[in-house]
Chain A
Amino acid sequence: MSDWIHKQHSVVNRIIDGSITIDSIEEFENLIKAFPNDPQLHRVFADRLVKEKSLNAADEYKTSAKLFIETGRPLQAVASKIFEWRIAKPSREDGLAFHEALNNCNPLDAPIQKFFTNLAYEEMVSLLTKLIPSSCPANTTVKKFGDEERELCFVVSGVLKETLHHRLENGEKVQKTLQTNLVEGDIFGEIYPLTDERLSPSDIKSITQAELLKISKINLLSLCTEHSNLDLLIRNLYKSRSESDKKEFSKTVRRTTRHQLPMQVNLKIFQSETGKTPLNLSGFTDDISLGGTCVILGAKYQTGHLDNLTGLNVKMQMSLPIESIKLNILGNIVWSKEISVEGKKAAIIGIQFKEMNDIDRELLKGYCCGSEAEQNLIWSLWNSLMEK
């Protein structure tokens, strides 16, 4: 399992996947203070500011784009930049600065990420003006087998399932032959060579909420006629995808293991005033990963003073099913919220883990995910028994 999954912060993940709703702009601002370097959080915040019709959204998109570039994800940076420039029209200097940042980016290994770093300035500008962001909820059919191929789509976020079919000579569709999951950085749309007319060989459906950047075949053809290097880059993009498909017959989605089995936890919260006795509370984890956890506080905690907890350091002690083993983790309360459980008020706090020793980290990993061998067998069986 990819390490990046574990680096995600539990609370941030829950906001991004929509399982925790942030009610106010202030709450968002506090989170941004807690996770200033999370590009996705800035992006979600910017989207929220757009709904509020706040001009500050442009700044958040800008920050998000900058952070995406720093983390080697130029495709996501381009998506943020498009939104930013829809709100605040860019100057030539802005364009040049972004182009330079893209060129200097050290992209992740995906071909699409490298594609954006190889664009000349004029190519980048032309492309960005024609790319259209599109968001689709989970379980949406994006494309059907036999549809005319009219656009190239870049997967900015989310997961989609592509089911390839064979076509008989009479054009009839036969049984599914291959399923692949399209994830961040993948492309779809069989439009190359751009002068050919093609029908979709697959059905594509979103599994999770997904964001795409799309460009129509007509517009891409026009751009490639104007910029021969762009044509070359697009050709290489399709070529590398084809090679990648051969190597990786059945792709595996990067699956996050969000653990749902709650665990009892004791907290020692160190108050900011020197000399003040630490606050001892207990609760149970609502969600735990290697990056952090949400904790529902027990009855001892009187709700109504949650703001006072945010930013405080906390020492957590958690018991695993092996009774003799207790994990000790140092963290920081980055977020808090009052929730209602069956009409009663309760408090939930988000804790970002800062320090734990290697042994505790391994134990937590085992508790959340099982060993690598167990995980591998689960996914291998999933692929062989469950994939349609």
Chain B
Amino acid sequence: MNEELNKENESSPKIWAIGGGKGGAGKSVVSTIMAFWLARMGNRTILVDVDLGGANLHTLLGIKSPARTLNDFITRRFESLEDICIETEEKNLRLISGASDVLSLANPHFSQKIKLITHLSRLDADYVVLDLGAGTSFNVLDFFLVAHKKIVVLTPEPTSIQNAYIFVRNAVYRKLSRLSSKNPSLQTLVKIAMDPKNVLKIRTIKELIQMIEESDENNIVEMLKKEIGDVRLSVITNMVKNDKEENAGRIVQIVAEKYLTISSADLGSVSYDKHVQTMVSDMVPLINLNQSSHAFGNVYEITNKLTKD
């Protein structure tokens, strides 16, 4: 997989991926408002609906039936992602609509995925915002891992917190899998660690690293720490109704730091806004939302913070 996307290139767009595991956490809404603010800040921005199994981002931008979708790119009707970008009502903001053919594209071939990832990095934009949706695990995790900013959105509910954590955990294990396929020594160690009956009782990444440290494989430890450390998670708690609920993101952050050894940042929270829910259900474009809305303001602050990071 194109791990090199992680190394920011001057001419390539900055890729932000928004995931979280559970449907209904508001990933698409946060992605859309975030892309809107990036565009308003004067950045050429492309919002991409990577929910290959159930694309619907276009509806949040008031586009009923997108003329071109990712399907057209994957099936080679168009050779470049630029060709399938759709202008939106907002200056500087374009959309790549997802393919809504749930049965044929939910699990694209590996080569299709590689092609898509490569072309994303070639887009003529300052920022590319990927709305991952709930998607299928490998696709979601792979798109998440190649992004420069890996953003997890969750709501202050036990199931959402748990799903967000498991999503991050699986992403880290996916990364580990990629690393170990390139490094035979590591592969052996990972295989031992992943055997649930292993006598060392290794169950977490932290325990794996400890085991490798004890086995004097210093080169591997350093490489592993660096690669896993590069995951750098950003967490947003959405639909927050009171101060306590703002802590939901902290839970994922603390558990991920402790057991997955990844660094993370709590980007803050987005207030629950009934107008957002109404607009989504009434299919009113989110960019028409009153900018004095708390949710809009919260996402502005988060976006601003991320651009300066």
Chain A interface (Cβ < 8 Å from any Cβ of B): 255, 257-264, 282, 284, 296, 298-299, 319-325, 341-342, 344, 346, 358-359, 362-363, 366-374, 377-379, 381-382, 385-386, 388
27 of the cross-chain contacts (CB-CB < 8 Å) are: A257-B162, A259-B163, A260-B23, A261-B134, A261-B163, A262-B53, A262-B137, A284-B53, A284-B136, A298-B103, A298-B104, A299-B103, A321-B174, A341-B54, A342-B100, A344-B103, A346-B102, A358-B197, A362-B197, A373-B203, A373-B259, A374-B255, A378-B162, A378-B251, A379-B158, A385-B244, A386-B251
Q: A342 to B98: give the CA distance in the assembly, Å.
A: 13
Consensus secondary structure, chain B interface = helix
- The answer to the question of B196 belonging to the interface, with a C-beta cut-off of 8 Å to chain A, is yes
Known: A261-B166, A362-B197. A385 touches B250 (CB 8 A): yes
In the complex the two chains form, is B259's CB within 8 Å of A377's CB? yes
**CB nearest to B167 among chain A residues:** A261
Does B85 interact with chain A (Cβ within 8 Å)? no
- Contact indicator B141/A370 (Cβ below 8 Å): no
Interface pair B134/A362, CB less than 8 Å apart: no
Contact status A386-B170, CB under 8 Å: no
* A385 close to B251 (CB less than 8 A): yes
Judged by a CB distance under 8 angstroms, whether B90 is at the interface is no
Main secondary structure of the interface of A (DSSP, over half): mixed
The answer to whether B102 touches A263, judged by C-beta atoms less than 8 angstroms apart, is no
For the complex, is B11 an interface residue (Cβ under 8 Å from A)?
no
Q: Provide the residues of chain B in CB contact with A323, threshold 8 Å.
A: 174, 177-178, 181
Count contacts on B: residues with CB < 8 A to the other chain: 58
Bound-state Cα–Cα, A372 to B171, Å: 19
Shortest beta-carbon distance from A158 to chain B in Å: 16
Mask, B236-266, CB within 8 Å of A = 1, is 0000001011011011001100110000000
Given contacts A263-B136, A322-B194, A378-B162, 18 further A-B contacts (CB under 8 A): A261-B166, A298-B106, A298-B107, A322-B177, A323-B181, A325-B194, A358-B197, A359-B196, A363-B196, A366-B196, A367-B170, A370-B166, A370-B169, A372-B203, A374-B204, A379-B158, A386-B245, A388-B242
Nearest A residue (CB) for B107: A264
Bound-complex Cα distance A259 to B22 (A): 9
Distance in angstroms from A8 CB to nearest chain B CB is 15
- A255 to chain B: closest CB distance in Å? 6
Known contacts A261-B167, A264-B138, A321 near B177 by CB under 8 Å:
yes
- On whether A366 and B102 interact (CB within 8 A), knowing A255-B158, A282-B107, the answer reads no
Q: Which residues of B contact A263 (CB under 8 A)?
A: 136-137
| Least distance between B50 CB and chain A CB atoms (Å) | 14
State A322–B190 Cα separation when bound (angstroms). Answer: 9
Closest-CB distance, B152 to chain A (whole angstroms)? 12
Partner of A382, one of B100, B161, B178, B180: B161
Measured between beta carbons, the chain B residues less than 8 angstroms from A363 are 194, 196
Contact between chains at A261 and B137 (CB < 8 Å) = yes
How many angstroms between the C-alpha atoms of A319 and B159 in the bound complex? 23
Closest to A347 in B: B103
Q: Give me the 7 closest cross-chain CB pairs, A-B, nearest first.
A: A362-B196, A371-B203, A299-B103, A385-B247, A321-B174, A381-B251, A321-B170
Q: Does residue B191 face the partner (Cβ distance < 8 Å to A)?
A: yes
Quick check: B170 and A381 within 8 Å, CB to CB? Answer: no
| B176 is an interface residue with CB less than 8 A from chain A | yes
Q: How far is the CB of B186 from chain A (nearest CB, A)?
A: 12
CB distance from B197 to the nearest CB of A (A): 6
Q: How far is the CA of A257 from the CA of B174 in the complex (A)?
A: 21
Tell me, in angstroms, the Cα distance from A1 to B254 when the chains sit together: 21
Residues of B within 8 A of A381 (CB): 250-251, 254-255
Residue B21, interface by CB 8 Å: yes
What's the least CB distance linking B180 to chain A, in Å?
8
Residue with the highest number of chain A CB atoms closer than 10 Å, among B53, B135, B166:
B166
In the complex, chain B residues whose CB is within 8 Å of the CB of A259: 163, 166
B23 neighbours in A (Cβ, 8 Å): 260
Alpha-carbon distance between A261 and B173 when the two chains are bound, in angstroms = 14
> In the bound complex, do residue A386 and residue B173 qualify as a contact, i.e. CB atoms below 8 Å apart?
no
Q: Which residues of A contact B258 (CB under 8 A)?
A: 377
Which residues from A are CB-within-8-Å of B165?
370, 374, 378
The answer, among B106, B177, B245, for a CB contact under 8 Å with A284, is B106
* A322 CA / B54 CA spacing, docked (Å): 25
Chain A residues within an 8 Å CB radius of B171: 321
Q: Is the pair A374, B259 in contact by a Cβ cutoff of 8 Å?
A: yes
Q: Shortest Cβ distance from B56 into chain A, in angstroms?
A: 8
Instruction: Tell me the smallest distance from the CB of A284 to a CB of chain B, in Å.
Output: 5
Q: Mark B131-166, 1 if CB is under 8 A from A, else 0.
A: 000111110110000000000000010110111011
Chain B's closest residue to A368 (CB) is: B166
A320 to B100 CA separation, bound complex (whole angstroms): 25
Chain A residue with the shortest CB-CB distance to B173: A321
